[in-house]
């Protein structure tokens, strides 16, 4: 299979291990995610979700194991143009306006001219920030900063989106419209990997990975996880299948 083979998984994680100060935080995580899949990582606080996302995107390096995104071995700087990443803490320039932030990231992604302006408007419209384009980010609320971070991740229409808690701090109406957009992108073939604590969001994913103490305890569709655990909700399935309760 070549790196760009359409049948090759978009995300390939093989036996990833990561320890901090002698404490193992990820313990042999292997996972494949296919093209056009919406995959949710669900786990209690401290279970290793963000660490896994950081290894996936090349922000951090595994102690052992390998990561391939879109067939390419990570970490690799050139890959930044091929996926969109939204970190848990917003990586924004506070002294710049939203537009200036977007122009900066657009240049990193190689977007310019009319196409750049068109993509800036489209991404801001998804997160309902068009009316705040020229405000400095320092005047944004926490939720607005999350929304701008999401717009940056979507800016270059990447074939893979990796989103760490994308809807935290976002009100329910906008959360719903963002989910509509995510599902539409998935339907158009975008692969999406996200972390969430919101059970009804997990239910919307094609597959969910339950993570606890740095291990994937179950990976399946929401329906199959519920059936397997005899639960009627993802929340119950999560507890039965070793996801534990969020501390
Ligand atoms: N750079 C680091 N140095 C030391 N410990 C770390 C580091 N990064 C993460 N950890 C530890 O690794 C564990 C997993 O953290 P991680 O952020 O991946 O969890 P999480 O599942 O994303 O949690 P949350 O849902 O609260 O964001 C935690 O115990 C955390 O304290």
Share of the chain above pLDDT 70, in %: 96
Domain assignment present for 139: yes
100 vs 168, which has greater pLDDT?
Answer: 100
Regarding the beta carbon of 89 and ligand 1, being less than 6 Å apart is answered no
Tens digits of residue pLDDT in 147-204: 999 999 999 999 999 999 998 888 888 888 889 989 999 999 999 999 998 888 999 9
Interatomic CA distance for residues 66 and 88, integer angstroms: 23
Task: Provide the token pair at 116.
Answer: 């750049």
Regarding the beta carbon of 209 and ligand 1, being less than 6 Å apart is answered no
Q: What is the pTM of this model?
A: 0.92
Interatomic CA distance for residues 127 and 101, integer angstroms: 15
Q: Which of 26, 41, 44, 47 is the pocket-test mutation for ligand 1 (most atoms within 8 Å of CB)?
A: 47
Domain assignment present for 46: no
Domain assignment present for 99: yes
Domain assignment present for 134: yes
Phi and psi torsions of 71, nearest 5°: 85, -5
Of the candidates 161, 164, 223, the residue with the CA atom closest to the CA atom of residue 188? 161
Domain extent, residue 129, equals: 92-157
Which residue, by CA, sits nearest to atom 8 of ligand 1? 51
Regarding the beta carbon of 55 and ligand 1, being less than 6 Å apart is answered no
Helix (H) or strand (E) holding 229, with range, is helix 222-229
Domain assignment present for 138: yes
Regarding the beta carbon of 243 and ligand 1, being less than 6 Å apart is answered no
Regarding the beta carbon of 45 and ligand 1, being less than 6 Å apart is answered yes
Interatomic CA distance for residues 176 and 246, integer angstroms: 23
> Counting Cβ atoms within 10 Å, is residue 122 exposed (0-12), middle (13-18) or buried (19+)?
middle
Domain assignment present for 126: yes
Interatomic CA distance for residues 166 and 146, integer angstroms: 7
Beta pairing partners, 16: 29
Tens digits of residue pLDDT in 124-143: 998 889 999 999 999 999 88
Domain assignment present for 57: no
Domain assignment present for 130: yes
What ipTM score was computed for the predicted complex, to two decimals? 0.96
Domain count, the chain: 1
């Amino acid at each position: 299979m070549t790196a760009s083979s359409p049948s090759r998984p978009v995300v390939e994680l093989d036996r990833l291990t990561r320890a901090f100060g002698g404490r193992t935080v990820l313990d042999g995580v292997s996972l494949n995610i296919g093209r056009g899949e919406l995959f949710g990582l669900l786990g209690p606080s401290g279970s290793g979700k963000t660490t896994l996302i950081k290894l996936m995107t090349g922000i951090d390096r595994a102690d052992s194991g390998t990561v391939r995104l879109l067939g390419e071995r990570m970490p690799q700087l050139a890959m930044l143009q091929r996926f969109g990443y939204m970190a848990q803490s917003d990586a924004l320039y506070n002294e710049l306006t939203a537009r200036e932030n977007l122009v900066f990231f657009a240049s990193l992604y190689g977007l310019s001219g009319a196409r750049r302006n068109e993509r800036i408007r489209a991404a801001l419209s998804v997160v309902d920030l068009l009316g705040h384009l020229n405000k400095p980010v320092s005047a944004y609320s926490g939720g607005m900063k999350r929304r701008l971070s999401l717009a940056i991740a979507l800016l270059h229409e990447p074939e893979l989106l990796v989103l760490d808690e994308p809807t935290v701090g976002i009100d329910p109406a906008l959360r719903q419209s963002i989910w509509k957009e995510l599902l539409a992108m998935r339907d158009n073939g975008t692969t999406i990997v996200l972390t969430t604590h919101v059970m009804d969001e997990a239910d919307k994913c094609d597959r969910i990975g339950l993570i606890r103490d740095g291990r994937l305890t179950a990976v399946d569709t929401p329906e199959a996880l519920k059936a397997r655990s005899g639960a009627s909700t993802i929340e119950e399935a999560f507890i039965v299948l070793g996801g534990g309760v969020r501390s």
